[in-house]
Amino acid sequence: MATTPQRASGTPAIEIHDLHKSFGTVQALDGLDLTVTPGQVAGFLGPNGAGKSTTIRVLLGLLRSDSGSVRLLGGDPWSDAVALHRRLAYVPGDVSLWPNLSGGEAIDYLTRLRGPVDKRRKAALLERFELDPTKKASTYSKGNRQKVALVAAFMHDVDLLVLDEPTSGLDPLMEAVFMERVREAKDRGTSVLLSSHILSEVEKVCDTVTIIRAGRSVESGTLDELRHLTRSTVNAVVGGDPAGLVVLPGVHDVETAQGESGTRVKFDVDNAEMAGVLTALSTMDVHSFTAAPPSLEELFMRHYGDELAGEEAAESAARRAGETGKHARSEAGAR
Amino acid sequence: MTTTLERTAPAAPSAPAARAGSTLTGTWSLVRFILRRDRVRLTVWTLSLVAFYAYFTAALGLMSETEGALQARAAIMETPSGIVMGGPGYGVDDYTVGAAIANEGTVWVVLALALMSILHVVRHTRAEEESSRSELVRANPVGRHAPAVAAVITLVAVNAVVAVVSALAMTGVGGAEEMPLADSLGMTVGVGLSAMVFGAIALVFCQLVEHARGATGRSVAVFGLAFTIEVAGNLREVPGGSALSWFSPIAWAQQTRAFVDLRWWPMALSVVAVAVLLWFASFLASRRDFGGGMIASRPGRADATESLRGPVALAWLQQKGALRWTAAGLGAMWMASGTLIPDIGEMIGDLIADNPAMSAIFGGDTSEFEAAFLGVMMLYGALCCAGYAIVMGLRPKAEETTARAELVLSTPVSRRRWFGAQLLVAGAGTVVLLAVSVVALWLGTYIVDVTDPGLGTYAEVFVSYVPAVLVYLGLTAALFAWVPRATAAGWALLAYTFVIGMFGGLIEDMPEAANWIAPFYWVPEAFVADFDPGSFVGLSAVAAALFVLAFVGFRRRDVVTS
C-alpha cells in the first residue's frame, strides 16, 4: 500500500453530482454536489441530520444511490467497492466493536483485512492516542472505541481517508493528536474527507469546505473563497461622530456606546464594501481599529440564521403549548 | 421512548420524601413504559397461547365424538414416546378431553410461556443495561431495583392475563360440564407459575453475567435440564411420575392433576421457588456495579493471534462459545435420553402383560417402541439444531444494526465474503451440533448395551436431517437479505413445524398441503422409515436455493444501521 498516492492526481478523489437518496418517504439527499481534489483536505459541514453520513455510506458502497453520479478515486463506489476499499480507510462517527475482542485484537483484525500489520507503527499510534489495547471492547468508552478505529485507519498509507465526525468522542488533547495525523497524511498526498458539525475542527485542517443542509449543498469552496462572500466584523473607537457609517452601503448592525476615550462602534461590513468604510472611518479620528474575518461559526449561523430563527420560534411556540398542557395535567393530578 | 419518561419524571420531586430515596422509585412509570413498548409483542404472545388452548380443546372435542378414539390416544400416551411428548399420564384410564389437554399440552405451554418469560426478563433488564439505554433511564429519579421489579410486575401481569383468558377460552369452547372452570384455571395458573420460575431464573442469570445473550442461553439451558428431569422422572413410574419428576418445575404444573382430580398445592412449590429466586436476584443485584456481572471480565490480548485473519476467523471466534455450550448441554441431554432405552423395553413388557389388548394394537415386538422413542428424541434434537441455525443465522443482522458490518465492509471485504463467512460458520456449527446430538443418543444406548439400531442407522438419520436443518438457516439468511424486518418468520416456521409435528394429526380434515411447508415433514421418520434419497436431494435443493436467494438479495440492498 506504500504506492505513490499522488499518481491519481488527474481525477478527483471524490466527485458527486446531483445525488439523490431517499429512505421510504424521507428524502435524505436531494441533489447533493461534492468534489474533493486529490491531496486536499475537504471539510464536509452540516448540522445533524443534513445527510453527511448518508453521503459517506453511498461513497462506501453501503447504500445504493437513487440517481445522480458518484465517482470515487475514478471508480464506481457500488460496483468497484472492494477494489476501491483497498485504497481508502474509513472511521465512523459512532464506532461499534466486537464486545469479546480487546482493542488490540480489533485493530489487528481490521488492519489485516487490508494488509500486513506493522507492529512498530501500531505501537507508535497506540502511544500517541494513549490507548490501552488489552481492554475488552465492551469496557471502552465512546472515545476509546473511536481511537481503535482511528488507529486502524492510520495503520496503512491510503489514497483517501473518509472520516465521519471522527473526533466527536475525543478530548481536546486527543483531537490535536488526530489533527496532526491528518496533516501528516495530507503531506504524504492523501486526500481527506472530514465530515463534522464542529466548525473549528474543519477550520484548523481543511483546504476546502462544502456546507450541506437538508441533503443539498448550499455552499462550497476554499475557506478564502467563502470568506470573500461574507462580511467582516469591525470594532473601532472613534473621536468623531460615527452616525455617517449607518448610511454607507454594505454596513449592517451598527452598535455604538459612549466610552471615556471616545465612541465605541461595532458593525458588520460586506468585504466588498470595505474600501468605502475605511475612507469614511479615516475622517472620524480613529483611536483603535480591528477587523476580524468571520469564523466558520459565523458563516454557518449566517447561512442558517434565518431558517434557524424561524424554526426556533416555531419550536418554542410548540414547547410553550406543550408546557401549558403539562401544567394542566399535573394540576389535575394534584387534585 | 422519551415521551413516557418525560411525562412521568416531573412527578418525582413532588413525591413524599420517604419514597425519594427508595430503590424502587419510578417502578410504576417503568411498568407503563414496558407495556407501551411491548404492546404488540405481548399481545401476539397472549393471543397465540389462548388460540393454542382453544384449538387444542376444539380438536380433542371433535375427536371425542368418535367412540374409543380418545381411549386409543390414551394407550399411546402410556408408551414411552407418548410420555416424552406428553406428561405423567393422569386420567389415562378414563381419558376425557380435559385430561388429554392437561396431560399432553402442559409441558408445551410451559415451554412457550417459559421462553416468553425468559426473553421478557432479559430484554428489560440485562439487555437494557448492556445497550446503556438503562443508563439514560437510571439517571432519572429511578431506583436501583426499579427496572427489574418493573420487568417482574409486567411478567406476572402478562402470565395472569394469559392464564385467566385461556381458562375462560377452554371452558367456553369445551363447555362447563366437560371442562369445569376450576380445572381450567388449575391448569393455566399452574402453567403460568411454572413458567414464572424460569423467568425468575433468568433474572438471577441477568445479575451473574454481563451479556444478555449469555443470560438467555443459560436460562434456556436450565429449561432443557428441567425437561430432561421431567421426562426421566415420568418414565420411571406410570401414571403419575416418580419422585424424580418433582425436581422439575415443569412437573409442578403437571401435578395439579387438572380435569382428573384437581389439587392446588403443587403450585405452592412454584410460588416458593419464584420468591426464593427473586430474593436471590435482589441479593446479587445489591452487590454488583451497574453494567457489571458477578463474573468479572478479564483483560484481553494486546495483539490478535495469528489465526484471526479474515471474516471466517472472526465469525468462528464469535460463535464458538455458543456452539461449545450448546453442544455440551444438548449432548448430555440426548445421551441421558439414550440410556433410557432398556427401561422402555421393560415398560412395554409390563404394559402388554397388564393389558393383552395392547399387544393387539401395537404388536408384541418391543423394538418397534424403542425405534419410535428414538425417532421422537431425534425429532426434538433436530428441532433444537434448527433453533440454533436460526439464532446463528440472525448474527449478521446484529452485526449490521450495530454498524460492525459497516466497519468491515468499508475494508476490501466484499459483501459476499462477509455474509458467506457468517453463514459458513453458522451452517458448519449447525451440522456439528446435529452430529453431536446423534452421536450422543447413540452413545447413550451403547452404554446400556443396546446395539440395535447400529451406528450405521444413526449415520443415515444424521444425513437425512442435515439438509432439513439447513433449510432454516437458508430461510433466515434469505429473509435477512430481502426483508430484514421479517426475520422472525424463521421462528414462526420452527414453531409451525413443531405444532404440525406434534398436534397436526389431531385435525382430521387438515389438508395434506398444510404439512408441505414444514421442512421436517419431508424427512423420513427417524429409525422407523428408511433413508429416502429423493427427500434428501429435494431438501438440499430447497436449502441451496434459499442460500442463493440470500446472496443475491444481500448484494442488491442497502446496508443500514439502526
pLDDT (tens digit, 9 = 90+) per residue, A224-282? 777 666 678 888 898 888 888 888 888 888 888 888 888 899 888 887 788 888 888 88
**DSSP assignment string, A162-183:** EEESTTTT--HHHHHHHHHHHH
Could you please report the per-residue DSSP string of A268-299? EEEGGGHHHHHHHHHTS-EEEEEEEPPPHHHH
In Å, how far are A212, A214, A221 from A31, measured between CA atoms?
A: 11, 10, 17
Is B412 an 8 Å CB contact of chain A? yes
- The model's confidence at residue A321, banded by pLDDT at 50, 70 and 90, is low
B129 interfaces chain A, CB cutoff of 8 Å: no
How close does chain B come to A83, measured CA to CA in Å? 7
The pLDDT value given to residue B292: 65
Evaluate whether B223 touches B108 at the Cβ level (below 8 Å): no
- B460 in Cβ contact with B535 (< 8 Å): no
On whether the CB atoms of residues B167 and B184 are closer than 8 A, the answer is yes
- Indicate if the pLDDT at residue B168 is higher than 60: yes
Taking the C-alpha atoms of residue A175 and residue A166, their distance in angstroms, rounded to an integer, is 9
Residues 6+ apart with CB under 8 A from B2: none
Half-sphere exposure for B427 (CA within 13 Å, toward CB): 21
Shortest Cα–Cα distance, B542 to chain A (Å): 29
The contacts of residue B397 (CB under 8 Å, 6+ apart) are: B480, B484, B487
What's the pLDDT score for residue A314?
Answer: 58
Mean pLDDT of B213-228: 90
A vs B: CB pairs below 8 A: 114
User: Does residue B9 carry a pLDDT above 80?
Assistant: no
Record: contact A330-B11, CB cut-off 8 A: yes
Q: Which of A105, A205, A90, A102 is nearest to A156 (CA)?
A: A90
> Nearest CB to A96: which of B210, B297, B404?
B404
On whether the CB atoms of residues B143 and B25 are closer than 8 A, the answer is yes
Give buried/exposed letters for A226-260 (b at 16+ CB in 10 A, else e): bbeebbbbbebbbeeebeebeebeebeebebeeee
Instruction: Please tell me the predicted confidence (pLDDT) of residue A7.
Output: 45
Cβ under 8 Å to A: B residues 12-51: 14
Query: Amino acid letter at B102?
Result: A
* B451 close to A (CB below 8 A): no
Chain B residues in contact with A96 by the CB 8 A cut-off are 402-404, 407
Q: What percent of chain A has pLDDT over 70?
A: 84
Asked whether the beta carbons of residue B304 and residue A104 sit closer than 8 angstroms, the reply is yes
Tally of CA atoms within 13 A in the half-sphere of A193 that contains its CB: 30
Q: How confident is the model at residue B436 (pLDDT cuts 50, 70, 90)?
A: very high
Model confidence at A4: pLDDT above 60: no
pLDDT band at B6 (very low <50, low <70, confident <90, very high): very low
Q: From the candidates A66, A113, A163, which should be mutated to test the interface with B, based on the most B CB atoms within 10 A?
A: A113
The mean of the pLDDT values for chain B is 86
Please indicate if any CB of chain B lies within 8 Å of the CB of A248.
Answer: no
Q: Report residue B287 as a C-alpha cell.
A: 452487590
Contact B310 A113 (CB under 8 A): yes
Q: What percent of chain B has pLDDT over 70?
A: 91
> Is B10 within 8 Å of chain A by CB?
yes
Q: What is the dihedral of CA B315, B321, B323, B326, to 10 degrees?
A: -150
Q: How far is A80 from chain B (nearest CA, A)?
A: 10
B11 contact A CB<8A: yes
- Give one DSSP letter per residue of A77-129, joined into a string: TTTTHHHHHTTEEEE-SS----TTSBHHHHHHHHHHTTS---HHHHHHHHHHT
pLDDT band (50, 70, 90) for residue B338: confident
Q: Best interface-test mutation with A: which of B410, B419, B425 has the largest number of A CBs within 10 A?
A: B410
CA distance B113 to chain A (A): 30
Q: Are B555 and B415 in contact (CB under 8 A)?
A: yes
Residue B366 in grid coordinates: 418391543
What's domain A5-227's architecture?
3-Layer(aba) Sandwich (3.40)
Chain position carrying cell 366437560? B178
CB contact under 8 A, B310 and A92: no
Residue B304: list chain A partners with CB under 8 A: 101, 104-105, 108-109, 112
CA A188/CA A39 separation, integer angstroms: 8
**pLDDT at A181 (0 to 100):** 92
Beta bridge partners of A292: A233
B542 phi and psi angles, rounded to 5 deg: -65, -45
> Would you say residue B130 has pLDDT above 70?
yes
Distance from CA of B485 to the nearest CA of A (A): 14
Quote the pLDDT of residue B503.
72
Beta bridge partners of A90: A162
A100 to chain B: closest CA residue = B318
Average pLDDT over residues A189-208: 85
Residues B447-491 pLDDT 10s: 888 887 888 999 999 999 999 999 999 999 999 999 998 888 999
CB contact at 8 A, A32 and A68: yes
Are B407 and A81 a contacting pair at CB < 8 A?
Answer: no
What are the residue ranges spanned by the domains of chain B? 26-53+107-294, 323-336+374-562
Q: What is the pLDDT of residues B286-316, one digit of tens each?
A: 887 766 665 666 778 888 888 888 999 999 9
A90 touches chain B (CB under 8 A): yes
Mean pLDDT of B110-124: 94
Q: Given a cut of 50, is residue A188 above it in pLDDT?
A: yes
**pLDDT score recorded for residue B14:** 41
Q: Could you tell me which CATH number the domain at A231-292 has?
A: 3.30.70
Higher-confidence residue of A10 and A192: namely A192
Q: Which residues pair with A21 in a beta bridge?
A: A29
Mean pLDDT value across residues B7-21: 43
Give the per-residue pLDDT at B299. 78
Write the residue in B304, B408, B414 that is nearest to A108 by C-beta: B304
> Is B7 a residue whose pLDDT tops 60?
no
Q: How far is A152 from chain B (nearest CA, A)?
A: 11
Could B308 and A60 be called an inter-chain contact, meaning their C-beta atoms sit closer than 8 Å? no
Question: Do residues B433 and B330 lie in contact, with contact meaning Cβ atoms separated by under 8 Å?
Answer: yes
| DSSP β-ladder status, A26-36 and A14-23 | antiparallel
Q: Would you give the distance in Å from CA B481 to the centre of its chain?
A: 25
- A94 at the B interface (CB within 8 A)? yes
What digits encode the pLDDT tens for the residues B53-97? 998 898 888 888 887 788 888 887 887 778 888 889 898 888 899
Q: Does B398 touch chain A (CB under 8 A)?
A: no
Q: Would you kindly state where each structural domain of chain A is located, as residue ranges?
A: 5-227, 231-292
Residues in chain A: 335
Residue A96 has pLDDT above 80, yes or no: yes
Partners of B138 in the β-ladder: none
> Taking the mean position of all CA atoms in its chain, how far away is CA A92?
14
